A = this chain, B = another copy of it.
Amino acid sequence: MGERALVVLSGGQDSTTCLYWALREFGEGAIEAVTFDYAQRHRIELQCATQVAADAGVRQVILPIDTFRELGGNALTDPRVPVGDVRPEALPATFVPGRNLIFMTYAAAYAWQNGIRHLVTGVAQTDYSGYPDCRRETMDALQATLNLGMDADFVIHTPLMNLSKMQTVQLAVELDALPAMAMTHTCYNGRRPPCGECQACLLRAKGFAEAGVKDPLLMT
């Protein structure tokens, strides 16, 4: 496998920052992006991801996942479940069990077929303690599993893992990724311009405020 990298690109602030991180680390021409179309309620996410990839000159593959819809019962794909709903296990209603495991395993399958060794994901354990599939410990275990299960030598990179939202904004500035932030989508309510009131909007706003940077998304 060559020293090429596949970025899991959702079209959000974090994965877009990761795309620019990968461009710096691996160089232009060594990067591809994979975006999952899993019947998310907000189709705008997919458009954002495609726009971000095209703008950065990165090849993007979109893989459909219809299985989550059948598994059902989660807020991001099921319009019947309100976003604020709380699970008995104290996990947010937006939690799809194993969602990131599935994303990363599919990303690895695509990477395996295309001779790509490095996988990059924007998961972070800071600010996201409710998601057990976003922890580095989980990613370490998954990396071992993928390498055993595919006879491979994958490295899962999580450049945002221990960054606060403020630090992620600072990293985006450092990577000249700020203009691309205008193309990203964050709002849980799927609004553009963003609603400014959901947990995702508030978290994003807090990060930009603490970094002392104006969010380009709010200037468009």
A199 at interface, CB cutoff 8 A: no
**Contacts beyond the supplied A66-B66, A138-B149: 7 A-B pairs with Cβ under 8 Å:** A64-B70, A65-B67, A98-B112, A101-B146, A102-B106, A132-B148, A141-B144
Which of A64, A89, A146 has the most CB atoms of chain B within a 10 A radius of its CB? A146
A71 at interface, CB cutoff 8 A: yes
Q: How many residues of A contact B (CB 8 A)?
A: 37
Mark A67-107 against chain B: 1 for CB-CB distance below 8 A, else 0.
Answer: 10011010000000000000001010000111011100110
A109 with B98: CB separation less than 8 A: yes
A113 at interface, CB cutoff 8 A: yes
Q: How far is the CA of A62 from the CA of B141 in the complex (A)?
A: 28
Q: How far is the CA of A19 from the CA of B108 in the complex (A)?
A: 30
A110 with B141: CB separation less than 8 A: no
A148: B residues at CB distance < 8 A? 132-133, 135, 137-138, 141
Contact surface of A with B, Cβ cutoff 8 Å: 63-67, 70-71, 73, 89, 91, 96-98, 100-102, 105-106, 108-110, 112-113, 132-133, 135, 137-138, 141-142, 144-146, 148-151
Q: Which of B70, B108, B109, B149 contacts A142 (CB 8 A)?
A: B149
Interface of A is mostly: helix
Q: Which of B73, B91, B96, B149 contacts A101 (CB 8 A)?
A: B149
A96: B residues at CB distance < 8 A? 109
Q: For the complex of A and B, list the 8 residue pairs with the smallest distance between their C-beta atoms, beginning with the closest.
A: A133-B149, A141-B145, A138-B148, A97-B112, A97-B109, A132-B151, A98-B109, A138-B149
A128 CB to closest chain B CB (Å) equals 13
Closest to A65 in B: B67
